[in-house]
Amino acid sequence: MLVTAGLALVTATSLIGLLSHAFDVASVSSELAVLIGLGVGVDYGLFIISRHRSAVKAGLPYSDAAALAVRTSGRTVLLAGLTVCIALLGQFALGVSFLYGPSLGAAIAVALTMAASLTFLPAMLGFLGPRVLSRREQAALAARGPASMEATGFWLRWARVIQGRKALVAVGALAAVVVIALPIFGLRLGTSDASTDPPGSTTHQAYTAMAQGFGPGFNGPLELAAQAGSPRGRGQHHDPGLRVVPARRPAGSAGVRLRARVRRPRGRPGHPQPAGARPHAPHRPGQLGPPRLAGPHPAPPGHRGQG
């Protein structure tokens, strides 16, 4: 089972490396593919091996037992593998390019693991022969003869209970899923920053000091985007404190222009403000852009402030 998964994952990792020459692939794509491929490989192998062992205990020849395992559990493996591949490739519909590499790499690993479970694993079971059973199971088979393949025990009784109360079980399962999903209505999305770092880190301490000194929201970036062909995008109102930042034009769009407020150095006693600099107004809540920090000396010629 592990040999089958390992063979498939080595091949998948090699293919991911080859795909990186065709388009950008995230560095974590190989690790993610190995993790997902190892998980599904163990599951798929257990499906087929368990069915093969049951057929051998029932007295079938080893080749017939392998064929029966592929005809029954193999169909489950095929359907499960295709479902996982479709789900992973469905991330292409999101339009987020950095997810393409990880999703495609994981789908390749799952597809190869599924193929190895349906081809290489049955061949290995045929070569193993009686060694698929332990010595105790081989002795019991020789002494008592073939065992019945009919399901027995707790899981058979549980399956019959579920089949007898299908509507009730479906409603109960749906109610449980709804209750578990209720916290999603209070979900607040946002980008991570230094406030999520460990409290003892210098970045978190700097973030806290800036927020306490200049007020909440100072550390939050403000980005403005406008359609180039719209009235606002044409820049009918020009603010000397704003500058147009050229950006890459996304594929299929008419172009985007970004505006960011320029921070200018502030004069100090004995250090006059640079020529052309505007006087600094005190920061007010709701004012566009953060308050500007004072510098010890005027900015050198050609200096461009950060947006």
pLDDT digits (tens, 9 = 90+) for 227-278: 666 555 455 455 555 555 554 554 444 444 444 444 444 444 444 444 444 4
Do 226 and 89 fall within a single domain?
Answer: no
The amino acid present at 40, given as its one-letter code, is V
Of the listed ranges 16-30, 148-162, 175-189, 284-298, the least confidently predicted one is 284-298
Residue 64 lies in a domain: yes
Do 40 and 131 fall within a single domain?
Answer: yes
Place of tokens 């057929």: 55
Residue 142 lies in a domain: yes
Alpha-carbon span 207 to 138, nearest angstrom:
68
Residue 92 lies in a domain: yes
Do 33 and 127 fall within a single domain?
Answer: yes
Q: What is the mean pLDDT of residues 173-197?
A: 87
**How open is the CA angle 225-231-236, to the nearest 5 degrees?**
95
Do 13 and 117 fall within a single domain?
Answer: yes
Question: What are the tokens at 60?
Answer: 């079938």
Residue (of 152, 146, 287, 294) closest to 215 by Cα position = 287
Residue 47 lies in a domain: yes
Residue 205 lies in a domain: no
Domains identified in the chain, total number: 2
Residue (of 100, 49, 104) closest to 72 by Cα position = 49
Place of tokens 């996304």: 250
Question: What are the tokens at 67?
Answer: 């064929």
Predicted pLDDT at 292? 43
Do 116 and 32 fall within a single domain?
Answer: yes
Domain stops at, among 148, 182, 206? 148
Q: What is the mean pLDDT of residues 25-47?
A: 89
Task: Tell me the residue range of the domain where 231 lies.
Answer: 222-263
Place of tokens 């489950």: 76
| Bridge partners for 245 per DSSP | 258
Predicted pLDDT at 62? 87
Alpha-carbon span 194 to 206, nearest angstrom:
8
Domain stops at, among 96, 113, 148? 148
Do 233 and 136 fall within a single domain?
Answer: no
Do 142 and 227 fall within a single domain?
Answer: no
Residue 76 lies in a domain: yes
Alpha-carbon span 80 to 115, nearest angstrom:
12
Do 8 and 131 fall within a single domain?
Answer: yes
Alpha-carbon span 192 to 215, nearest angstrom:
19
Do 142 and 18 fall within a single domain?
Answer: yes
Domain stops at, among 148, 183, 214? 148
What share of the chain has pLDDT > 70, as a percent? Answer: 71
Predicted pLDDT at 59? 84
pLDDT band of 216, cuts 50, 70, 90: confident
The answer for residues whose C-beta is within 8 angstroms of residue 69's C-beta and 6 or more apart is 48, 49, 51, 52, 55, 122, 125
Do 129 and 238 fall within a single domain?
Answer: no
Residue 259 lies in a domain: yes
Overall pTM > 0.85? no
Do 8 and 139 fall within a single domain?
Answer: yes
Residue (of 293, 295, 290) closest to 307 by Cα position = 290
pLDDT band of 23, cuts 50, 70, 90: confident
Instruction: Tell me: pLDDT of 186 over 90.
Output: no
Residue 208 lies in a domain: no
Do 37 and 120 fall within a single domain?
Answer: yes
